[in-house]
Amino acid sequence: MMGTLEIGFTLLLVGVGGTLLVLGICSLVMELLKRIFPYKEEK
Amino acid sequence: MTLLEAMGEGFKALGVGFSALHWSNLLMIGVGLLFFYLGIKKDVEPVLLIPIGFGCILVNIPLSEMMEEGGFLRIFYDGGIRTELFPLLIFVGIGAMTDFGLLLERPYMFLLGAAGQFGIFLTLLLALALGFDLKEAVSIGIIGACDGPTAIYVTSKYAPHLLGAVAVAAYSYMSLVPIIQPPIMKALTSQKEKITMMGVYKRSVSETAKLLFPVVITILVGFIAPKGLPLVGSLMLGNFLRECGVVERLSKSAQNEIANVVTLLLGLTIGATMSGPVFVKPQTLLVFGLGFLAICLDTVCGLLLGKLIYVLSGRKINPLIGAAGISAFPMAARVVQREGQKYNPKNYLIMYAMGANAGGQVGSVVAASIMLSVLQGMGIG
């Protein structure tokens, strides 16, 4: 059984890593969308 | 009972509130008045502090039974806070108000939005070390999201008894960002870094990409961290109403009528959780202290990632924009612009900082979603 501080450390590592990973994926997906649907200057 | 006796009993019932008054009620009525002062005279989050202050005064007048079963404030509390409905409706409004275009111009800003949330997890650990139980620690850590609705949503789920302290801390520190951040920005960046020019801002996102953004983020984050989907989904619903361009009435309603009515009720009910005997205790001060630390740590982490990006970009990206990775929108971005210009009057960082700040908004709901899902995975909550 994990102690409270061990749970805290787990949350710290998974939370920081998970947030970075998910937002990193969001960043890549949006970069991809920008390439698929590029911006065109209005005439 | 004679007429005289009945009149006597009747008069006795008047002013009974005074006899049931506890010193902590008086103190909290003073706090309510202080909120009025801060909101009206100092312009500190008046839209929230005025209803919170009024709710705080109402609940500290003894024997009114406003927070008892069936009481006026209790009905709003049960219907809007316990059900987690109010923060979610506020998110629909925020989503409809926010233009994420500046974030999408430079998607790497998502990473700054992530770093601006690390204070949540560091503070959670510190709260555990100070003896708070896990659910309380999660609720205290979430102040670091620097995002009122997220803090209220998570706290109402895990530690409703801390709701008043967490909500007031979250909203107060959001408005204190212009005071909290500059000394940290000054200490953590060199003169050379501070004066880095970032060039002219150019628009590069198509309407289609902006339209797809809320849908893609909802599906992506929803599948990864389903427990947080109400948060992400409501924010992105509001943004989709804005970007799709065919439901202007709904978008305007979300931005105005819904956001305004819910803000009033949310503020009142948060104030109603600040009853003197429950609120006035050392634990509340600790919550405020840890909340302050959480926002400082967010700023530190954002700046450190900003410094890393500065090096990786060949010294082209001003690391000060890292401080805008927190969710306090648009205060943090304005602070970055002001501080940047202090060191280099020709520097205009606002557009970049707004992008990072929008990243912080997405970051705060993503961080909360991940925390909720991880806790569920660990069998907690």
pLDDT tens digit sequence for B290-342:
999 999 999 999 999 999 999 999 999 999 999 999 988 888 999 999 999 99
Higher pLDDT, B125 or B6: B125
Distance from C-alpha of B143 to C-alpha of B123, rounded to nearest angstrom: 9
At a CB cut-off of 8 Å and minimum separation 6, what does B364 contact? B113, B116, B117, B145, B146, B147, B150, B326, B327
pTM of the model: 0.92
Residues of A with CB under 8 A from a CB of B: 4-5, 7-12, 14-16, 18-20, 22-31, 33-34, 37-40
In chain A, the residue whose alpha carbon lies closest to the alpha carbon of B221 is A22
Question: Residues B148-169: what's their mean pLDDT?
Answer: 93
Which residue among B209, B366, B371 places its CB closest to the CB of A34? B209
Residues B201-240 pLDDT 10s:
777 899 999 999 999 999 999 999 999 999 999 999 999 9
Which single residue is written with the structure tokens 């102690």?
A: A3
pLDDT-derived band at B12, boundaries 50, 70, 90: confident
Distance from C-alpha of B334 to C-alpha of B144, rounded to nearest angstrom: 19
Which residue among B115, B221, B380 places its CB closest to the CB of A22? B221
pLDDT-derived band at B8, boundaries 50, 70, 90: confident
A1 to chain B, closest Cα gap in Å: 11
Distance from C-alpha of B241 to C-alpha of B221, rounded to nearest angstrom: 19
Phi, psi values for residue B282, rounded to 5°: -55, -30
Q: Is there a contact between B343 and B124 (Cβ–Cβ < 8 Å)?
A: no
Q: Flag whether pLDDT at A42 surpasses 80.
A: no
ipTM exceeds 0.90, yes or no: yes
Residues A18-40 pLDDT 10s:
999 999 999 999 999 999 999 88
Residue among B193, B190, B145 nearest B169 (CA): B145
Which residue among A12, A31, A37 places its CB closest to the CB of B122? A12
Considering only CB atoms, which chain A residues are within 8 Å of B374? 10-11, 14-15, 18
Residue among B184, B145, B187 nearest B296 (CA): B184
Contact B206 A39 (CB under 8 A): yes
Distance from C-alpha of B350 to C-alpha of B143, rounded to nearest angstrom: 25
B192 to chain A, closest Cα gap in Å: 28
Domain boundaries, chain B: 23-377
Considering only CB atoms, which chain A residues are within 8 Å of B214? none
